[in-house]
Structure 1
Amino acid sequence: MKIYKIFLALLVVCMVPSCDYLDVVPDERPTEEDAFKNVYSAENYLYSCYSYIPTPRSGTSSLDFFTADEVVTAFEHETFANFPKGNFTASNPVISYWNTLFKGIRQCYLLIEGVDATPGLSEQAKVNYKAEAKFLIAYYHFLLARNYGPTIIVESVPDVNMAYSDFPSRAHFDDVIEFVVNKFDEAAQDLPLNYSASTAYGRATRVAAAALKARALLLAASPLFNGGGETQSSFYTNFTDKEGNSLISSTYDPQKWQRAAEATKYAIDMAEDNGHELYTYNTSLGDTYPEDPFERDLRYTIIDRFSKEVLWADTRREGYYDLQNKSTPFIQGRAWNGIAPTLTMVEAFYTENGLPIDKDPAFDYDNRYSIATGDNGTTMKLNLNREPRFNAWVAFHNGYYEIIRDVGGETVERIKTQFRRDDNCGIKGRSNNYSPTGYLNKKGVHPKLEQPSLVVPSQQYPWPVIRLADLYLMYAEALIEYGGAGEFASAKQYIDRVRSRAGIPSVDDAWEPIGGANSREVLRDIVRQERTIEFYLENQRFWDLRRWMIAEPYFGTQAKGMNIQGENDLEFFQVQEVPFQRNFRSPAFYLMPIPQGEINKNEKLVQNPGY
């Protein structure tokens, strides 16, 4: 039997001495005798159903991690880099979840059909296992819809011997979302609100089902799948199956936003009633950098393994070539200094006054690229007087990177980062392992990380799939899109919850001096910029720009940064294009291509437009 090794960082490394959760995963086609012969086998089979979830923070093969315009990396030779380059086709999709997700769906249905036959398994466990399988069926269909748009709805175990003439066709996108919503609701009836055993962390809960149902409805309400929204025309007016049936609505329906708002508010209430809250620093972790309390809260939001903000997490262990080792200041063979925020992302963060840099009268926007003196030496004006999220998550020239390092035989807990050619974070003579923009990512890197040798990062934590701040901004976005003054006021309250934790003024306090924030257009820009900042490098922007139908000018544009070959300040602080290919072909790239081999197998399938 084929064995897959999948590890839970939170459980195996951080919380308990040992645990077999997701540790052994059987093949997707075992016999029922193997799968349900005893309690242990049934449990392993349940865990195997989770194994088809794409790894969200893979440093080499994640579709949506390093592939938006938030960062450029020194690792353009790796698989993921084909996506920002636009080097993928239906014949060579490079990274495709199509087959994997359908295999996962089939495995879940096999569990539902077979688990009742397990000797010794309690009736409650059987109910719970089947609910988790239904949750995953819903989630896998959601991922298919987000990747490919209208997809095949699978309602039972597919017959592997099915005649070609009986192969299913793609369902209308709205029908897929309705299936997802109903399946999440069905699962939620039997899912626990939470688990008492720490070893069950990462398994499906009722809160997670409600949150992901809301995310699915928000996707369906968004312009890409909702007739282009209020201000645009649909890409998919003529997108039909082979019988002429429409596959994506080309008519805008504002009621989809209202439905998304209602589902999101329901999820928020359930989460808050069950102890979820925005993260604040856990003082039991002891004194640590960053010193600023807002920056410390933000730096630890996703890396504190006990964070109550996380509603559902992926608990697989981070590897050698994932986020932390790739982001940290260079050490030969141990830390690769190569995840670099783009100038677009740097400029997206607010000023310390909670305003966009081009709207804050107190920020010298026209001279933002000029040299200035900060607390630690010369830097650009652009890097000064910025909001705490910028300082918490981005390392800049003559700023600090909070990390454990040996400096001259002394252990320090932060180092000053400098990015000129021959500096400690500079390119020097390397052709790899450098920052292409003169900035370095800190988000997701633990301040207590030590890197004495090439090892799997010592600080492991679960990766958030969805957290409470996401629900707050989802709710605000939905209210803004369909509502009036009353809804706008409520939307600002939920945006302000996120802003307050980030240490910046409320929307009204920030915008009042420059004309206020009371129209749909202004508030739409605000909530979108808030999402861009808050979920920087959390697998969101790749999808957000697509669902908003504004991806082309961002993903199809060369990234910019500093002159990393500059030997002195005057040479370094010059804005330059990063010489990496960037291409976004519209409207094709708004959806991923179905692998051409699957189109060839099933004559009822139509390919997505543009491929």
Structure 2
Amino acid sequence: MKRKIYKSYIAIATALALLTGCGDDFINQPPTDSIVDANFYKTDAQVLAASAPLYNAVWFAYNDKASHGIGDGRGGVLSANYSYQLENITFRTTGATAENYASWRAFYNVVGQSNVLINNLNKYAGADVTDGIKQHAIAEARFMRGLAYAYLVQNYGAVPVFTDNIAILQDTTVTRNTVESVWEFICRDIRYGTIHLPETPVAKGRLTKWAAEGMLAKMYLTRAGVGQSGSRNQTYLDSARVLAKDVIENSGASLMADYEELFKMKNNNNSETLFALQWVYNGDWGTQNSVQAFLAFSSSITGTADGWGGDLGASIYMLSKYEGLVQNGIFGSTPDKRRKASFMLPGDHYSYIHQQVLDNNGNSVIQELVVPTGASGYNTRAWIKKYVVGRAEDNDGKVLQQRTEIQTYMLRLADVYLVYAEAILGNNASTSDAEALKYFNMVRTRAGVPEKTSLTWDDIFNERHLEFAMEGQMWYDFVRLHYYDPQRAYDILSNQHRGFTRITPDDPDAATSWKIEPDPDYTGQTTFSVGDGNFNLPIPENELAKAPSLRREPVPYVFQ
């Protein structure tokens, strides 16, 4: 079923890409292919084929590099010296930064193509299309559109909201809408899915009611801080708590027993997955997951000409979150199983990833990955592991250059557990609520770290670092805080040590502990001041040039 759907939507994705995938504007000419008229949408299968590209192609430009540049780079997870991510890591992102424009374009691509699907289904759905499938596809499109606007408003603040691509093309005075009204639009869109999506997916990887409820819970948790000062709106906190609990108790989802198994291609759409982008390694460009190419430290472990992530590594700020790992220059280790699944330290072994090396005779051989140590006995990077899956032979042949098909997590059950705990904590300084502790500690138990007997905001915030590092999440956790306590967000971000490390293993061939310290040879800046002037991403310059009205003061969105 899955393969048939993917093969059939390639032509659809190509046609729909005419809407926003080409040209410089965030909305271009609408597609004119026959797929958008009465010749299509005649059967349930055609309707599902039409919504399938919403699970990959429209998100590609964000997933490719921007998601970890913005989500992890700006969030303080990463350090770099010369990487393309440097502007994000150092808070010098401009309107011309490539990953900034890629994000804006991708999010409005999702919006535009969701609008096409919704409008065409309402106009052209044939008599043989069942109402359930029609509403299902509309719910998929509204969920995706709502999520795209959530990324837009969290990154750019006030942004234009539209539901009619033709109307926006004819509007020369397009203006931004207020943050509050954009959030109302987001919640309305995603809430639609809680009613019209099924409890079990119509095909593997498709959205369900539980994905919509879990995502809406997360949206309410963030929205609880919008327009607030010092504390959050209790009504939205309560809504987040109720929705998260329903997912936890009734969805049938469960945590994977082994955290590291989450990030192997063979475990796509596992028991913990509520919503993930669905990729194919051998489809048209834009239907694959390309992130391994930019995160893997060397081509020796990808088996292709990519593997361009040698300059990227975990920041000292991030490594310090692992209990016992960074101990002021003495050798430390950590029981936290998430570290090895997220970042490679010299001397780490990965039995399921292989590398090409030269033997003592200078011959090329393939062996189990042992993360190398430099000639001086140390390394200056804790290289990225998460979403690095290895060579073709490690993945049933499903790896090509810049192409894998590991799913991209957009929402997994562990996230709902932590949303639930934070919604219960709410505006309190701490909580010993049994439910909050139960699910918070389930996340920690899997990681192999001790349970807690009470929770504070810092406990949950730090746990999110450890659980979701390199999943493009950290920046949005800071945005959630910034809505109701901006100075605290500025203070944490401005004091993060984003410089390089010197990592010396106790054994370069089988390390069990490491000396981790700031690299004494690094003389560059390690902290970066963050404030109101550089917190939001700037709207891309070419968009402002083509639509100067985007500079106007935002107005409330008018709901029909």
Fold match (TM-score > 0.5):
yes
1:168-198: CA deviations, max 9, x gaps? Answer: 5423x23322222222222332222232433
Aligned-residue identity in percent: 18
5+ residue gaps, structure 2, are 20-29, 282-287, 483-488, 509-513, 555-560
Alignment correspondent of 1:429? none
SS at match of 1:369: coil
Separation in 2, partners of 1:336, 1:389: 23
SS at match of 1:64: helix
Separation in 1, partners of 2:419, 2:289: 33
Alignment correspondent of 1:326? 295
Separation in 1, partners of 2:491, 2:553: 21
5+ residue gaps, structure 1, are 1-9, 231-251, 281-296, 352-356, 359-364, 371-380, 427-434, 509-516
Alpha-carbon distance, 1:129 to partner = 2.1
Alignment correspondent of 1:38? 40
2:200 matches 1:194: yes
Alignment correspondent of 1:88? 93
Separation in 2, partners of 1:140, 1:574: 38
Alignment correspondent of 2:387? 444
Give the conservation status (yes or no) of the 8 Å contact 1:323–1:444: yes
Alpha-carbon distance, 1:86 to partner = 2.9
Alpha-carbon distance, 1:153 to partner = 3.4
Separation in 2, partners of 1:565, 1:277: 37
- Cα distance change on mapping 1:487 and 1:410 into 2, 3 Å: same
Alpha-carbon distance, 1:17 to partner = 11
Alignment correspondent of 2:374? 420
Separation in 2, partners of 1:206, 1:67: 32
Q: Point out the structure with max Rg over C-alpha.
A: 1
Alpha-carbon distance, 1:119 to partner = 4.4
Alignment correspondent of 1:257? 237
Aligned length: 498
* Aligned pair partner of 1:542 in 471, 475, 485: 475
Alignment correspondent of 1:19? 7
SS at match of 1:265: helix
- Cα distance change on mapping 1:214 and 1:120 into 2, 3 Å: same
**Map of 1:6-405 to 2, 5 A cutoff?**
19-21=7-9, 24-25=12-13, 26=15, 27-28=18-19, 29-31=30-32, 33-36=34-37, 37-39=39-41, 45-49=50-54, 51-53=57-59, 55=61, 57-59=63-65, 63-68=69-74, 69-73=76-80, 76=83, 78=84, 80-90=85-95, 95-96=100-101, 97-98=103-104, 100-115=106-121, 116-119=123-126, 121-124=128-131, 125-157=133-165, 159-160=167-168, 162=170, 164=172, 167-171=174-178, 173-198=179-204, 201=205, 203-222=206-225, 225-230=226-231, 253-269=233-249, 273-280=250-257, 297-303=258-264, 304-317=267-280, 322-323=291-292, 326-328=295-297, 331=300, 333=305, 335-336=307-308, 338=310, 339-351=312-324, 365=327, 368-370=328-330, 381-382=331-332, 384-402=333-351, 403-405=353-355
Alpha-carbon distance, 1:312 to partner = 0.5
- Cα distance change on mapping 1:35 and 1:137 into 2, 3 Å: same
Alignment correspondent of 1:594? 539
Separation in 1, partners of 2:114, 2:548: 23
Separation in 1, partners of 2:199, 2:63: 26
Give the conservation status (yes or no) of the 8 Å contact 1:395–1:401: no
Alpha-carbon distance, 1:328 to partner = 4.5
Separation in 2, partners of 1:121, 1:138: 28
Separation in 1, partners of 2:476, 2:175: 27
Answer with 311-320 or 448-457: which moved more.
Answer: 448-457
- Paired letter, 1:497: M
Alpha-carbon distance, 1:445 to partner = 2.9
Query: Normalising to structure 1: TM-score of the pair?
Result: 0.70
Give the conservation status (yes or no) of the 8 Å contact 2:280–2:404: no
Give the conservation status (yes or no) of the 8 Å contact 1:476–1:495: yes
Alpha-carbon distance, 1:349 to partner = 1.0
Give the conservation status (yes or no) of the 8 Å contact 2:494–2:530: no
SS at match of 2:215: helix
CA RMSD of aligned residues (A): 4.0
Alignment correspondent of 2:284? none
- Cα distance change on mapping 1:154 and 1:307 into 2, 3 Å: same
**Map of 1:522-601 to 2, 5 A cutoff?**
523-549=456-482, 550-551=489-490, 553-554=492-493, 559-563=498-502, 575-576=519-520, 577=522, 579=524, 583-596=528-541, 598=543, 601=547
Separation in 1, partners of 2:392, 2:494: 32
- Cα distance change on mapping 1:390 and 1:227 into 2, 3 Å: same
- Cα distance change on mapping 1:532 and 1:607 into 2, 3 Å: farther
Alpha-carbon distance, 1:99 to partner = 5.0
Separation in 2, partners of 1:192, 1:453: 31
- Paired letter, 1:204: L
- Larger RCO (CA under 8 A, 6+ residues apart): 2
SS at match of 1:460: coil
SS at match of 1:499: helix
Query: Normalising to structure 2: TM-score of the pair?
Result: 0.76
Separation in 2, partners of 1:571, 1:499: 24
Separation in 2, partners of 1:61, 1:333: 22
